[in-house]
Structure 1
Amino acid sequence: MTTERSQSLTHLARIGFSRLAEADRDLGELEELLALERDALTAPAARSADPDAAVSAMTRIARRDARALRALHADADGWAAVWALLGASSGFADFYLRHPEELSHLVAAGRSLPTEEELRASLLESVDAEDGFAVDPDERSWVALRIRYRRQLAAIAAYDLLSASPVDEVALVAARLADAAGAALEASLCVARARVVRGLPGTGRSPREQVAGTRLAVIGMGKTGARELNYVSDVDVIFVAGADEAVLAEAGESRVVDIATRLAVQTMRGISGAEIEPPLWEVDANLRPEGKQGALVRTLDSHLSYYDRWAKSWEFQALLKARPIAGDRELGDEYVRAVQPKIWTSAARENFVDSVQRMRERVTEHIPAAEVPYQLKLGPGGIRDIEFTVQLLQLVHGLSDDRIRQRGTLEAIDALVAQGYIGRADAATFSHDYRVLRLLEHRVQLRQLRRTHLMPERPDERRVLARASGLAESGEKVWELWEKIKREVRDIHVRLFYRPLLSAVASLHEEERSLSPAQAHDRLAAIGFTDPVGALRHIASLTTGLSRGATIQRHLMPVMIRWFADGVDPDYGLLAFRRISERLGATPWFLRMLRDSSGAAESLTRVLSSSRYVGELMEWIPESAAWLDDPELLQPRSGVALQEEARAIQSRHASIEDAMRSVRGLRRRELLRIAMAGILGTLTIEEIAHALTTVTEVTIQATLRAVRREVVPEEDSALDFSVIAMGRFGGGELGFGSDADVMYVYRANGVDPQRAHELSLQLVAGLRKHSEDHRVPLDLDAGLRPEGRNGPMARSLAAYGEYYRRWSLSWEAQALLRARGVAGSTKLIRAFTELADDVRYPATVDPQGVREIKRIKARVENERLPQGADPARHLKLGPGSLSDVEWLVQLLQLEHAHRVPGMRTTSTMDALRAARDAGIVAETDAQRLADAWRLASRLRSANTLLSGQTSDVLPTDRKKLDGIGRLLGYPPRSATAVEEDYLGATRRARRVFEKLFYG
């Protein structure tokens, strides 16, 4: 006996029982009560979510009515259904314990779902409805209705639980649950009519003719309206009153509304009131106008008046799912038709998108902290994240596209992806995860037939959930699935729900959403396009066709056109966008990024309409658009990373031409990255200068390595050669379009001196040749070398030393103040730096040399300005501009750097700060010099970015000046402000310069 019992318990454990001793005892009792063999009893147990609970419930039911269970066993489908229901739901166990006779209706259960017509007919039959009135209006009708409803609910649940793939049946099951709710309300309304005619307590008596002629439409809202209801959920409704003309004439509107209100109250009581049979669910009418404070029932005109004058944005979002579910269908349809236009224009309200986003956040904020990890519905990554995202997309894009005006969430997702508003991958994930979340919600509600949206905390309950849903093998696995879905849903929700495109689309004027060609031409001209014909041509090229890309472009274009129009040069921006779009072709990430990212589309329009420099580079490097979707990708790369990439490039290419082509590509790409970041305001002028200097250094270093490999043979490899950065390059202060001032130095190291000189000149020639880039020129300017353009292009270290000892002029010592080695032999660079330090940081300064520097500065101002140029507008040589600040700082360095270590720097701004800290320059004076220098530097770079061409003159053209100002962060139409700011800053700096330089 012990062995047999052990085998029996093992078998029970194998088919899913966990409380083996209790189960064995209950099964033994069942065998006696039903006179059935154990194997016959437990045949369907393996498919039961909680076999222990199922057999315990059967035992209790059998004690009360064994015949009902025994009769059901004869039907295989019914027997499987009772195991499924009682194993998944203690609520159904309680129901069948109260009404064991209802078990007979499980015969053939699970094979199919009842239809909407069958549900309605069955529930009306339960109250003996005739012509809209129940025959017997007392409380027994409500009890009968509730029992019949639960019979139908059991049929739906049995089909759901026994389905081979319940996740695929979620939509159909939810639709039937909504149909059942509508049918229950219809039956309860029939009872209500009879009670009002009879004048039962709490109803107030009215003549049958008036009650029959009073029209009451029950509008399903939320999940009920969308036919995606839960097993146990509040059923949101709105009541609309009307009447036949005869009744309206006889009784008047107020009497009709009074009757309709009493009907509504009794209808709700029949579903939710306290009776012998427990309530079905809460009928919630709080979505009505004015909520709980408003009238329960209104006429159609009263509803419409409210929506026109007082309704808030969330109320239109709620109306998205409105559907007649009971009562007068004609009136209900009329209500829905009347509110539809209001729903689909609500997104045009001011701050509509923000209000919806904030409402979702408030929902999350009000969840008790302890519940957040378990909230299937309201928590982050839960059902509401999907629903709010889908509804917001619908409401915004549904302004002009009626193809996405769906009630149901899943149908709406399908429509949104079909019309290109969301990507296929995101839609597939949303659709699948929504079904899974709804299935989990269904199963936790079935457990006790109680309204809940919480994942179970206890491991044994999670195990039951895993078995009931069929989604996982264990409780741990179902929790892991839940965590995974939360992450997926939250990620997509945040990307789509907070998509800036939504606010932009919602705020479009009606005429911008749909224009005829003639209207579009006029509109484009009005918002700032100077060539509207060309703009229309570009728009047509982007949006014509049936491809998914063209579909997405059609959605994007109305908003992007407005963004382009807000830019400096809308015509060029749109042209560049077309070219980039054509270059990227069918690349899926590009349009998906513009549609879905957190601001890439607007950023792209901004950089393209602000800068020809960026637009021309992006045409060559269109994949750079992806950087706009990730702030990290817009950050300049470090010199180490660029060096590693440059070395890797050179190791892959055998020929110098191929290697340098790739190095030029690297430089263009990094210049573009810095330019985009600068335009978008993520880099300061100092960070831009540092990044541009780093890119230039890496380019020269890579070029020198490649050229040296070609020029210097093995036997002459002892030759040292270095590139010395000068001017703004040496100071790490390059701007867009700046030349790279350099000098070249070599050391023979045993190589024949003449041979060393010849090789050095070949290295210089190779550097100049292979660094050329017609698209983004890199001019290696050696004009600051000793003797200027008349001096040798390259000198040995010894020759430099000899020259500076014997022949150098004061300006050459001054030029050395920004000398810094950037490429080639590090030993040679150190030696040259030591030589330069002796010259540029003298212990005493020759007064004659100082006078010569001042004389040269005055001559530069008079002679080097371009003919006809306005000195006040010259950013480099004008009064108070770059040269004034730099010459003054360099003079101070020559005079004081020997005793002030902080001034021994190649950086103008660092040297100025050190002079201020040492008390050489007053705080106010230093600030004025720095302000002028920074503004002039920014204006030079902005001028280059705007036009794609280098210029040192502040434009007089107001449009260009305004464009430069926009790049510097000024508001539109700030040409005068830019001009005045620059002239004011340089005027103040000039006064400081004259006081300190000449004084």
Structure 2
Amino acid sequence: MSLPSLVAIPVALEPLAERGRAALLAKAEELGQGTEGWPAERWQAFARACVASDFVAEQASRDAAGFLALAESGELERTLRPGEMRTQLQAWLADCTQEEELSRTLRRFRNRQQLRIIWRDVNRLADLAETCRDLSDLADACIDLAYQWLYPRHCEQFGTPTGRRSGASQQMIILGMGKLGAHELNLSSDIDLIFGFPEAGETEGARRSLDNQEFFTRLGQKLIKALDAITVDGFVFRTDMRLRPYGSSGGLVLSFAALEQYYQDQGRDWERYAMIKARVVGGDRREGARLLKILQPFVYRRYLDFSAIEALRTMKQLIQQEVRRKGMAENIKLGAGGIREVEFIAQAFQLIHGGRDLSLQLRPLLKVLAILEGQGYLPAPVVAELRDGYRFLRYTEHALQAIADRQTQMLPDDPREQARVAFIMGFDNWTAFLERLQHWRERIDWHFHQVIADPDGEDEDEVVGGEWQPLWLGTLEEDMAVRQLAEAGFQAPDVALRRLQDLRNGNQVRSMQRLGRERLDAFMPRLLAQTVEHDEMDQVLERVMPLVAAVARRSAYLVLLTENPGALTRLLQLCSASPLIAEQIARYPLLLDELLNEGRLYSPPQAPELAAELRERLTRIPEDDLEQQMEALRHFKLAHSLRVAASEFAGTLPLMKVSDYLTWLAEAILDQVLALAWRDTVARHGTPKRIDGSDCDPDFVIVGYGKVGGIELGHGSDLDLVFIHDGDPQADTDGPKPLDGTSFFTRLGQRIIHLLTTHTTSGQLYEVDMRLRPSGASGLLVSSLSAFARYQENEAWTWEHQALIRARVLVGSPRVAEGFEAVRARVLGQARVLETLRDEVSEMRAKMRGNLGTHATQAGLGENAFDATQPFDLKQDAGGIVDIEFMVQYAALAWSHHYPQLIRYTDNMRILDGLSAADLLPAADVQLLQEAYKAYRAATHRLALQKQPGKVPGDQFAELRREVRRIWLELGLA
């Protein structure tokens, strides 16, 4: 929402403005300071401020000299520059020598700034962001400068605290929590602080040493007094220390080691929630950053943490009980649809996903909402309502607090106070304001229940899958349990029961902690309730049980599925469709994350979005953390491979698009792998040189052959790769451990293979086959462009030229890619003796059939080739995939000398289109070959997802096979 409107001062409130004006004029006359030079706009703003805020009217009268000076400074009408508030307070404190002076100066400065901030807020000279920022900057300046004033004087009295291990002097670290940590303070907010110090030890330089903790405890007490104590000048900020470990009963200040130990061993869910917004607001900022890094694993878990939902739900229930007990339904912070519910929504996503999605590790709520929209966690219309509703509530909060500089979020009962709030919020009357407020509270509460609601609903008697609880818990007699499973539709109820009993009685479950067992007992009835909705329920249960067993000890995944019934539904659908997917999810449960968003699951991104998403993920990881980088790459591949498979089953991706996406995925990963390998190799050995002596950047390409080259990757395909460089083989690199160019690029290639093939906890990226490089397994791992050209032109076999037809640069230097394309075009476009070419292609195909085809049917050429009892190998048998590929390759090699367009593309479908366009093959034959090729590949994909070999009964595709074979023979191939 935009700023609340300015409305005319209601007649009933005009006396407030007149009273404030009269008091100011009287004080100004006493001081001999006139207000004659004030413009009309300032008097109007002053009237509005007096109507809105008793604090402004009283402060202007009590310290008229200070107020008039503030007005003359022009600061009422302008935004303060970054750092200006701190600079001003430093100047005010420059001459302070006593603690009493410190206390008085801080309070007077605070009152001046509070008046300025309220003035600008109620006159709509500042928006919500500026008001919150100014209040938070004021708190930061007061906290840190008070500490900086107290610390050296404390050291003079007690000595300098020194670390026992490091021997270094110690400073306190002051963490601001909650709204202060997020730069979101309201007009009369208290501040939540936690004090820490790096290292245990004692003070040095005083007659009697103190333990560091005692030193900082005394210092902390003085700092709290400087900020919190109420004097004749008021207070600076009400200071709340109850968020520290052990609360009010705990030590006021703890060492880093003690803080880490507490949060690791005893930290509670609400403390994770609080720590999201923790920020260093005073003391040693460098050490403070180190403390936050130490505590980060407590806040953000590396796995998906849906237990956070349970914790937030419990916290909300406690708040609701307190609201009911104290009659606080009109509290716009804690009541239904209040500020806290928006915060809970944002922080639920942060706690669940923030360990893996680093973009969510933010403090300001509005920025978190923007990330939730941008990353697809929440739809844009939902975020818009949450954002606008939150702003309305925060403006209302400021209106309530501006009146008396009092911390309140309760709507007033008094008619005059109601009129003041409505006026500040830009409404003509209380009824109109209340109507708008109710609208936003209802929308926020609705969205809150969509995110935080208990999946069982509010009625505890209606537990999802409750009818299956006795069976799972083992309280049913066995024959009764078998009967219940049979009546539900299981074909083998005794087998299903045994699967459940084996899990329940297995060592993993019996050794689970109480919380994990409770989560499993809550999940299993839900699982059974959804399983029996499937036609193939026996198969579904068989496939999903290994996953349950795999995650039983990591019960956060069970919470994920319990909290998200839609994700469980999609899991069972995928397990029913494919044992390969079921096995993959059981092996890598982190893939359950992908089931949360149905729209995203069935809509894989386009190539540019894929590449951008992976780049963004990796930029959030420190450059020196190779382990995390490798895990991120593998998780990315697993997640997007699952999305492609799910989309294929759902029918949202046709076959050709499946291969496109899998190929784009490989290219995005190879691009980042090359970047990582290049950076690492250059860091070790320096940059290699070109022939002209300039730096390579990187003058290296990864060439894809076979399926990846032909944009035809399938599920689980390996990568046929060749590495080519165009650097100076002899020139040394310029690093600490120099290598000649050949050795450097060999190391680079080895590094790439290592990154691709190393097994981590998330598996490996790809199997890599390098045998298509010049001279095969006996050749150099990386070839120079010139050596590659010489080999292809002088030494390569015909089958290697066939392979070159499907070769293309996947990633790397555009300059070297152009060189490779020129070599490829020259080699493939040379004139050939057709009879010789036919013989060589036929001979190679015959060898392949003999070695790889189905022996029982003579590779599909025997009399029993179409017998239903015999298998047909979709790839290797006669009339299958390889026959089509060989025909395309033969045609391209035979005719590209005269028709160079035949080698423009590397995929079979477009080469066939070229053959048709050039009238080299009849259009009907081209269409048949394309249909056969797509049909075979579709069957191969389906079989792969069923974990079955690429074979079908011999009577399938009979007509297509005969026609493919006819075209083969008509081309003169044997």
TM-score range (shorter-chain normalised) is: 0.3 to 0.5
More helix by share: 1
TM-score normalised to the size of structure 2? 0.46
TM-score normalised to the size of structure 1? 0.45
